[in-house]
Amino acid sequence: MTAFDLNYPSAHIAGMNVRAILADIKKVKGWNQTQIAKQLQVDQSTVSKWTTGKQKPEIDQRDRIMGLARKLRLVPQSASADDFSVPIVGYVGAGGEVLFSEGQGPFGHVQMPPKNAGETTVAVVVRGDSMSGQLEDGWTIYYDKRQEPPSESLTGRLCVVGLTDGRVLVKKLIHGRQVGHYDLYSANAAPLLDQPVQWAAKVSWIAPA
């Protein structure tokens, strides 16, 4: 493999994947993680976390990964760190409700957030004035690390919340009056009090349109 090949099973396809690019670099150059780390100006343990999916590189690190991939002609010369992406799993509608069903999607991809991204990071996109003043039409909400049930660390945080009746909402989570129940707040809708919450995930990044 000495030149970029459209048939090569690399990460040049839609939704570029850091792990795939690192695997291609290893395959083409025969480098181990320590050698790859030296090229990318990080330590071996960082590369290990990237390849196992425990951590995703931040934006300056993605620039270096993509620069090396371009140098090795594993991706088009026009490729950039902006091409790394995460899947869209739903849309946020009126009242902060996430419009999707478990197992559906993805509904395309959006750019990976500049930081706080992990292997399980996904995105939902705001449609309409779901939480006007807090979340606006076209904004992207990122989350990962679903907790079932929610831990104490999520109390008072803006979260993507799954209720036992199947609804998924973007709300601030406050303890309710029963175990496993929470009061759910948003900027432009009446609070939902004492709701049975099955799971929750802290919103890790919000990207304005």
Residue 10, pLDDT > 50, answer no
Residues 110 and 195 in one domain: yes
Residue 59, H or E segment: helix 59-71
Domain assignment present for residue 5? The answer is no
**Closest C-alpha to 17, from 50, 60, 59:** 50
Whether pTM > 0.75 for this model: the answer is no
Mean pLDDT (whole number) for 154-159: 94
Domain assignment present for residue 9? The answer is no
Domain assignment present for residue 170? The answer is yes
Total domain count, the chain: 2
Q: What is the domain-level CATH number for residue 57?
A: 1.10.260.40
Q: Residues 86-134: pLDDT tens digits?
A: 888 888 876 778 876 545 667 888 888 887 777 788 899 888 765 666 7
Residue 9, pLDDT > 50, answer no
Expressed as residue numbers, the domain containing 58 is 18-83
Domain assignment present for residue 4? The answer is no
